[in-house]
């Protein structure tokens, strides 16, 4: 039986959630196996491409040790389609109550995207305390997260957008950051070459990043 997941347990699994954009379904399974081999098993496959849902389905069927979720969930239809494809969690770039309700109905733990205090308050009103801060760098970065520690002390964040191996440790050192989201684990050129060993190496380095809050 699959383990029971919550948004917090998903965030706690590893320091980095890879943000994955796939344009070839044939890459999905090998890529997922490479990430899992490096210690990263929570995988956010975005719905930014037509191949997103099929890639989620392929990973869900063929890489059971991975925890595959859908990113760029923007409406209830996206949530339902993701759940039908086998996604086990959802990540949204922003937040609406309708997306939150659809994910609950589909039993998908949701990491809603927020960029302002008002959006945090709306998400909290709907019962969400684990949030994606997006786009992190453009929306205020480290200083914004520090400012939120006062009024939103109970909220835990996954900053995403502009996070790199260089600045990730600074974000992970904050007490209200549990993990970060990053696209650097699955570079486009590495995918196209099928260099799975390099992806495993990147995953291993990401999994070893220290963090303050778990």
Active site residues: 44, 132
Q: Is residue 21 helix, strand or coil?
A: coil
In sequence order, the 6+-apart residues with CB closer than 8 A to the CB of 26 are none
Query: What are the tokens at 175?
Result: 């007490």
Instruction: Report cis status (omega within 30 of 0) of the bond before 172.
Output: no
- For 93-96, which contacts have Cβ atoms below 8 Å and span 24 or more sequence positions? 93/132, 93/134, 94/119, 94/134, 95/119, 95/122, 95/123, 95/126, 95/128, 95/131
Q: Is residue 166 helix, strand or coil?
A: coil
Q: Which residues pair with 133 in a beta bridge?
A: 114, 159
- How far apart, in whole angstroms, are the C-alpha atoms of residue 187 and residue 192? 9
């Amino acid at each position: 039986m699959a383990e029971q997941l919550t948004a917090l347990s998903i965030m706690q699994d590893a320091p980095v959630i890879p943000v994955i954009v796939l344009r070839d379904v044939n890459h999905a399974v090998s890529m997922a196996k490479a990430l899992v081999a490096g210690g990263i098993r929570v995988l956010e496959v975005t719905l930014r491409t037509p191949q997103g849902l099929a890639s989620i389905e392929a990973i869900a069927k063929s890489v059971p040790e991975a925890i595959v979720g859908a990113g760029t969930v923007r409406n209830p239809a996206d949530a339902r389609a993701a759940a039908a494809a086998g996604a086990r969690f959802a990540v949204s770039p922003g937040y609406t109550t309708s997306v939150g309700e659809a994910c609950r109905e589909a039993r998908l733990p949701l990491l809603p995207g927020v960029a302002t205090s008002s959006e945090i308050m709306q998400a909290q009103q709907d019962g969400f305390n684990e949030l994606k801060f997006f786009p992190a760098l453009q929306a205020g970065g480290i200083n914004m997260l520090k400012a939120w520690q006062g009024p939103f002390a109970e909220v835990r964040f996954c900053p995403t957008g502009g996070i790199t191996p260089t600045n990730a440790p600074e974000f992970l050192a904050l007490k209200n950051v549990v993990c970060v989201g990053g696209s650097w684990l699955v570079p486009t050129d590495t995918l196209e070459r099928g260099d799975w060993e390099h992806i495993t190496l990147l995953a291993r380095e990401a999994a070893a990043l220290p963090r303050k809050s778990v």
